[in-house]
Amino acid sequence: MKLSSLKTPLSAVAIAAVALTLVACGKKGDDAMIVKIGHVGPTSGAIAHLGKDNENGAKMAIEELNAAGLKFGDKAVKFELLAEDDGADPKQGTAAAQKLVDAKVNGVIGHLNSGTTIPASQLYNGAGIPQISPSATNPKYTRQGYAGAFRVVADDVHLGGTLGKYAVETLKGKSIAVIDDRTAYGQGVAEEFEKAVKAAGGNLVGHEFTTDKASDFNAILTTLKGKKPDVVFFGGMDAVAGPMLKQMKQLGINAKFMGGDGICTTELAKLAAEGMGEETVFCAEAGGVEGEQKAGMEKFRADFKTKFNADVQVYAPYVYDAVKVMATAMVTAGSADPAKYLPALKAINYKGVTGNIAFDEKGDIKNGALTLYTYKGGKREQLAVIR
C-alpha cells in the first residue's frame, strides 16, 4: 500500500477489521514484525501542553500506519510508540534517550526542545538510531555531523533572522530590547534575532537574561523600561512569555512583544491574559503551508480536535509528518533496520500535511517555511508565510 493513502484516517470499522485480521494471522501469537518508534517530549512541567501536543501527533500517525496494514515485502508490520517524558530538562532528556536506546527502538521522533534534542542526539548517533526532530531549531543540532539527525522545520538562523528584519523594517522598531532564557533554544534564537536587527540597521538598547522556570521579571523589565524600548524580543517558551507580558503591562511598558515558535502557541493568550494586547504580540512558527496545502492542514487540525478534544498547539502536525516520513523510508527500504532505511530517509521526498519534506546534506529541511502571526481577540492570526 502506498503511504500517500495514509493521509486520510481510516474509519473505526476499517481499523477494527485490520486489527481482527492481524489477530487471525497470529493465533499462536501475533507474527507481525514489531517496529518500535520512540517519541520524547516534555509531558510534565510548565510546557507539558506542548509536549502532549507532540505526543498526540505521534499517536495519530502510528494509529493510521497500523490501520493501513503495511508490509515489508510479505511480512506484516505493526508499529509501536514508545513515549518518554523529558520534562524539557537536558539531564532527563538524556535519561529518556538512553531508555529508548536500551529498548532498541528503530527510530526516534523528538525531542521538542533544542536543549534536550542536542545532548540526546549524541546517544542516538552512538547507537546508530535515526532521529527526526519536529521542533528543535538550534542550528547546532544538524551541524554536529551526525548521519542520522534530521529536522522538519526551519532553524534559528532563518527564524531569528526573519524576526529581526521584521522588527526593524515592518514594525519600525527604533529601540529594540532582547531577553532570553539561557536555554539552547532561547539563547540561539535571540542571538540570530540580534544579528538580523544589526544587519537591518536597527538599534539594540539592552539584552537581559532570565530562566525557563522564572516567574518574576520585575528587575529586568524595570531595567529595560528605563531604556524606553518600542520592541521587546523574548527568546524562550510561552509558559514564561505569558507572565512576562502581564508584568510588562503592570509596569507600563507599551512595547510590541516578539518571539519565536516557542511563544507562538494557542495557549499564549490564556497565559498572558490581560497582558495580551490587540496586534501587539508578533511571533513566527518554524513551518507553514500556503495555497492548496492549506486544505490538508485544516483537515488535520479538525481531525486532531475530534480525536483529542484539543486544538493543535504548534508542533503536532510536524510530529505526525515526521513519523510518516520515517515509516515511508522503512517501507521504501523494506526494512526497519536503521542501517538499511537510512539511505531512503536521506533521499526522502514526501508530501505531508506541513508541506513537502526533503532533507539537505546536513539533515535540515529544504526550502523551510516560516509563518508570521499576531494575536487578535485572544487568537492567533496569520500574517504571512515566508521562505
Q: Compute the average pLDDT of residues 20-48.
A: 73
The predicted pLDDT at position 12 comes to 38
Question: How do residues 228-273 score in pLDDT, each as one tens digit?
Answer: 999 999 999 999 999 999 999 999 999 999 999 999 998 999 999 9
Confidence of residue 386 (pLDDT cuts 50, 70, 90): confident
Quote the pTM value: 0.83
Query: Please, are residues 34 and 80 in contact by the beta-carbon 8 Å criterion?
Result: yes
> By percentage, how much of the chain surpasses pLDDT 70?
92
Characterize the bridge pairing of strands 350-352 and 33-41: unpaired
Superfamily of chain region 156-285: Response regulator (3.40.50.2300)
The predicted pLDDT at position 328 comes to 97
The predicted pLDDT at position 30 comes to 59
Confidence of residue 387 (pLDDT cuts 50, 70, 90): confident
Fold match between domain 3-153+290-366 and domain 156-285: yes
Domains in the chain: boundaries: 3-153+290-366, 156-285
C-alpha cell at 200: 537591518
Confidence of residue 8 (pLDDT cuts 50, 70, 90): very low
- 3-153+290-366: CATH, from 1.10.580.10, 3.40.50.2300, 3.30.200.20, 3.30.70.1560: 3.40.50.2300
Q: Compute the average pLDDT of residues 41-68.
A: 97
Query: How many residues comprise the chain?
Result: 387
Question: How do residues 363-374 score in pLDDT, each as one tens digit?
Answer: 999 988 899 999
Closest among 186, 212, 182 to 47, alpha carbons compared: 212
Please give the Cα distance from 56 to 352 (Å, whole number).
Answer: 17
Higher pLDDT, 293 or 59: 59
The predicted pLDDT at position 353 comes to 95
Q: Compute the average pLDDT of residues 10-24.
A: 36
Question: How do residues 305-353 score in pLDDT, each as one tens digit?
Answer: 999 999 999 999 999 999 999 999 999 999 999 999 999 999 999 999 9
Q: Compute the average pLDDT of residues 59-68.
A: 97
